[in-house]
Structure 1
Amino acid sequence: MKIGLNPKVIVSIVYVLAMFMVAMDGTVLNVALRTISEELGIPPAASSTLNVGYLVSLAVFLPVAGWLGDRWGTKRVFLSALALFTVSSALCATADQLSTLTFFRILQGAGGGLLTPVAMAMLFRTFPPQERAKVSRMLILPIALAPALGPIVSGLIVDQLSWRWIFYVNLPVGIPAVIFGMLYLKEHREQGAGRLDVPGWLLSAPGLALTMYALSQGPLRGWTSPLIIGAGLTGIILLTLLVVAELRTKQPLLDLRLLKDRLFRYSGLVSVCGAAGLLGMLYVFPLMYQNVLNATALETGLTTFPEALGLMIASQLVPWTYPRLGPRKLISMGLICTAVIFITLSQITVDTNPWFIRSLLFGVGIFLGQTVGAVQIASFAKIPPPSMGRASTWFTVQNRLGSAIGMALLSAVLAGVGTTTVTAAGTMEPNMLAYRLALLGAAAFLLIGLCFALKISDDDAAATIRKNSGQGLFRRQKKSPSLTQES
Structure 2
Amino acid sequence: MMIARDNTKLIVCIVYVATMFMVAMDANVLNVALPAIGHDMGTAPSATGTINVGYMVSLAIMLTVAGWLGDRFGTKKIFVLALIVFTTSSVLCGLTADLGTLTLFRIIQGASGGLLTPVAMTILFRTFPPAERTKLSRYLVFPIAIAPALGPIIGGYCVDYLTWRWVFYVNLPIGIVAVLFAYFYLQDYKGQHTGRMDWTGFLLAALGIGGLVYALNSGFSAGWSNVSIIAALIIGAASTTALIVYELRVSSPMLQLRLLQERLFRTMMLISACTAAGLLGMLYVFPLLYQDALGASAFDSGLTTFPEALGLMIASQVVARSYHRFGPRLVITCGLISAAIGYGLLCSVTADTSPWLIRGLLLWCGFCLGHVVSSVQFAIFANIPPASMGGAAALFTVQNRLSSGIGLTLLVCILGALGAAGTGGEAASEPTALGAYHAALLSAAVLLLIACGLAQRIRKADVERTMKPRTKPVDESGAVGAAAGAGVAVQAKRTSP
The normalised TM-score by structure 1 is 0.93
Cα distance 1:255–1:295, how it changes in 2: closer, same or farther (>3 A)? same
1:423-442 equivalences under 5 Å are 429-430=429-430, 431-442=433-444
Amino acid at match of 2:303: L
Deviation at 1:476, TM superposition (A): 11
Residues 420 and 427 of structure 2 are in contact (CA less than 8 Å); yes or no, is this contact kept in structure 1? no
Please say which structure displays the higher CA radius of gyration.
2
- Give, in angstroms, the shift of residue 111 of structure 1: 1.1
| Deviation, structure 1 residue 389 | 0.2
1:117 aligned residue: 118
Query: Could you say which residue in structure 2 is the equivalent of 1:28?
Result: 29
Give the distance between the partners of 1:427 and 1:241, measured in 2 at CA: 42
Question: Offset at 1:124?
Answer: 0.6
Q: Distance in 2 between matches of 1:205 and 1:160?
A: 39
The question of whether the paired residues in 1 share the 8 Å contact of 2:292 and 2:421 is answered with no
Q: Which residue of 2 aligns with 1:237?
A: 238
Question: Which residue of structure 2 lines up, in the alignment, with residue 352 of structure 1?
Answer: 353
2:462 alignment partner, SS class:
coil
Structural mapping, 1:278-297, within 5 Å: 278-297=279-298
**Aligned pair 1:463/2:462, yes or no?**
no
Deviations 1:429-450 (A, max 9, x none): 4522222211112111111111
Q: 1:3 to 1:261 in 2, by over 3 A?
A: closer
CA distance in 2, matches of 1:130, 1:427: 54
Identity of aligned residues (%): 54
Instruction: Measure the CA separation in 2 of the matches of 1:477 and 1:222.
Output: 64
Q: CA deviation at 1:34?
A: 2.0
Secondary structure of 1:382's counterpart equals coil
Q: Which residue of 2 aligns with 1:448?
A: 450
Deviation readout 1:100-120 (Å, 9 max, x if unpaired):
111111011101100010011
Distance in 2 between the 1:473 and 1:455 partners?
A: 35
Q: TM-score, normalised by structure 2?
A: 0.91
RMSD between superposed Cα atoms in Å? 2.3
Alpha-carbon distance in structure 2 between the residues aligned to 1:393 and 1:190 = 15
The structural deviation recorded for 1:467 is 4.2
Code of the aligned partner of 1:133: T
Deviates more, 1:27-36 or 1:178-187: 27-36
- CA deviation digits over 1:184-221, x for unaligned, max 9? 11111112122112211111122100011111222222
C-alpha spacing 1:41/1:464, structure 2 compared with 1 (3 Å): same
Which residue of the partner structure matches residue 200 of structure 2?
Answer: 199
Matches of 1:427 and 1:228, distance apart in 2: 24
Cα gap change, 1:238/1:477 in structure 2, threshold over 3 Å: closer, same or farther?
Answer: farther
CA drift of 1:469 comes to: 9.6
How do 1:209-358 and structure 2 match up within 5 A?
209-358=210-359
Q: 1:168 to 1:429 in 2, by over 3 A?
A: farther
Q: CA deviation at 1:183?
A: 1.2
Q: Return the letter of the residue paired with 2:457.
A: K
Aligned equivalents of 1:50, 1:468: Cα separation in 2: 53
**AA at the equivalent of 2:145:** A
* 8 Å contact from structure 1 (residues 275, 399) kept in 2: yes
Name the CA shift for 1:474/1:58 in 2 (closer, same or farther; >3 Å): farther
1:151-170 mapped onto 2 (5 Å cutoff): 151-170=152-171
Contact 2:346 2:361 in 1 (8 A): yes
Gaps of 5+ in 1: 479-483
Count residues in correspondence: 477
Say if 1:284 and 1:435, in contact at 8 Å, map to a contact too.
yes
Could you tell me how far 1:300 is from its partner in structure 2?
Answer: 1.7
CA contact (8 A) 1:152 1:298 kept: no
The answer as to whether partners of 1:155 and 1:297 remain within 8 angstroms in 2 is no
